[in-house]
Amino acid sequence: MNKIDINLVKALRKRTAAGVLSCRNALIDTGGDLDAAVKLLHERHLFPAAIERRPAAEGLLAFLVNARRGVIVELAAETDFVARNPLFQEAAQAIARTTLTAGGELAETLVAPSPDGQGNVADYVRRLATTFGENVHLRRAGALSTDKGVIGAYAHHAPAPGLGRMVALVAISGAAGPTAGSVARKVAMHIVGAAPLWSSVETVPPSIREQKRLSIDKGHDHTPDAREIDIEARLERFYDQTVLPRQRFLLDPSMTVAEYLVTEVGPEALVEGFVCFRVGEDAAHDARVAEAAEFEWTFGNDWSDERPSKLTAVGDERVFVISPSGPKLRDDRDAVDLINAAWSAGATIIALPVARLSSDFLPLSTRKAGAILQKFSNFRTRVAIMGDLSVEMEGSHALRDFVYESNNRGDIIFVNDLDALGQILLTSR
């Protein structure tokens, strides 16, 4: 059977999003049986396995809150171009609705009925991958619920309602009245900016506490009492950085999050839990970092507390200037913390000295450089790398080309010093 009705091919394409030739061949192989052709295309995976292996650091978060339940899903893609496509955005929202019905678990979501009625969600995502010709997959799902409290949601860089590139859900009990929802949303906004790890000191794993105790510098000559005081002081500082109610409230740093809740909704207010996703965030990596408990320069605040960092105005731009001395920008997690510190300060661009880059960054051949720069791109944060790179560029055509292209785009700028950055920013106004 070599002649296939074009309407059959169109119907198969609509159901599978496979290519014309793939649909035609599947129909020929199945004798024109549409259902059998769908099954055959699924067995043939619809798209080359090579696509599945390509990194997908872009994508979109979709969230949904229904009464006292909320979910977030991350639909990953390779490029921001696909993430901006209305079809992709509608798909992410549809999957969020399915996830809410499925209980918020990723495994249950993938086997739940497809939003378009054809197969399950896993099949639906595969059809999206074929449609866009990219590695599209459902990276993760998170859920939050409360029995008597209220759930607040906040999306940063939201292209449409229910979507964003950074999304947080928070459950707060003891909050009632017309302002409860607004208060919960502001706390969710804080979570996106401050990146807390736990909702209370009691939920900090014992292994983390013990690791923090062991991280005290053995070289210091402490008496037993002084040593215990030092340990407790550092633990308290650690909790202030990483436990949500103890963090300084970003919208009013004069009080903590717990104090803000008491002021706005009363002494019974309590954070029950939260979920926060960022597009492209490597959750496994973050878990390893958390387990290591090496938070001195890994989780927020240190970038903003260091001296002599400063915030300076250049025209309409607010530049967060990082000091040339201090720990290196080691990985993408450090990049997220730096972005959070700048965002909390209201900065529109970060000025980062070359001296703060790790030694394996400038060759640009390492995965580290790509991961760090991808974070700045994901969060749409501009960064100016300041310093003399003439020697490095002379020995690397790739670096020279990269600097030239980056300066033309304007998202990552390479300049010699702050004065040169000011001239560029004032010229581009």
| Domain harbouring 178, CATH code | 3.30.479.20
In a domain, 27, yes or no: yes
Q: 90 and 37, same structural domain?
A: no
Q: Enter the DSSP assignment of 31.
A: T
Q: 62 and 36, same structural domain?
A: no
In a domain, 391, yes or no: yes
Length of the chain: 429
pLDDT at 221: 56
pLDDT at 99: 94
Q: 169 and 63, same structural domain?
A: yes
Return the CATH number at 361.
Answer: 3.30.750
In a domain, 287, yes or no: no
Return the CATH number at 16.
Answer: 1.10.8.10
Q: 62 and 33, same structural domain?
A: no
pLDDT at 45: 57
Cβ–Cβ < 8 Å for 216, 228 = no
In a domain, 320, yes or no: yes
Is 382 exposed, middle or buried (CB count within 10 Å of its CB: 0-12, 13-18, 19+)? buried
Q: 63 and 187, same structural domain?
A: yes
Q: How far apart are CA 364 and CA 387, in angstroms?
A: 16
In a domain, 241, yes or no: no
Q: 184 and 63, same structural domain?
A: yes
In a domain, 271, yes or no: no
Q: 147 and 99, same structural domain?
A: yes
- Per DSSP bridges, beta strands 412-415 and 137-145 are unpaired
In a domain, 205, yes or no: no
Could you tell me the residue range of the domain that residue 390 belongs to?
A: 299-427
pLDDT at 34: 86
pLDDT at 71: 96
Match 């807390």 to its residue by tokens: 196
**Domain end marker among 166, 191, 216:** 191
pLDDT at 293: 44
Q: Residue 273, SS3? A: strand
Cα dihedral sign, 330-400-342-155 = negative
Cα dihedral sign, 30-31-32-36 = negative
Q: 139 and 110, same structural domain?
A: yes
In a domain, 280, yes or no: no
Q: 404 and 359, same structural domain?
A: yes
pLDDT at 52: 60
Tokens in use for 412?
A: 């990552």
Q: 30 and 112, same structural domain?
A: no
Q: How far apart are CA 121 and CA 125, in angstroms?
A: 6
**Domain end marker among 163, 191, 219:** 191
Q: 389 and 334, same structural domain?
A: yes
Instruction: From first to last of the 429 residues of the chain, give the pLDDT tens digit.
Output: 567 788 888 888 777 666 677 788 888 888 888 888 877 876 665 544 555 656 777 899 999 999 889 999 999 988 888 899 999 999 999 999 999 998 888 889 999 999 988 889 988 998 888 788 788 889 899 999 998 889 999 998 888 999 999 999 999 988 776 788 899 999 999 998 888 888 999 988 777 777 666 665 554 556 666 667 767 777 788 888 889 999 989 888 889 999 999 998 888 889 999 999 988 775 444 544 444 444 433 333 356 555 556 778 877 788 888 888 777 787 776 787 787 777 766 788 888 888 888 777 777 655 667 777 777 776 678 888 988 888 877 777 777 777 877 777 777 888 888 888 888 877 765
Q: How far apart are CA 96 and CA 98, in angstroms?
A: 5
pLDDT at 289: 45
pLDDT at 258: 94
**Domain end marker among 169, 191, 213:** 191
CA distances from 268 to 42, 180, 243, 259 (A): 53, 12, 18, 11
- Tally the domains of the chain: 3
**367-378 helix and 332-344 helix, angle to the nearest 10 degrees:** 30
Q: 377 and 322, same structural domain?
A: yes
Cβ–Cβ < 8 Å for 134, 20 = no
Match 């954070």 to its residue by tokens: 271
Cβ–Cβ < 8 Å for 163, 61 = yes
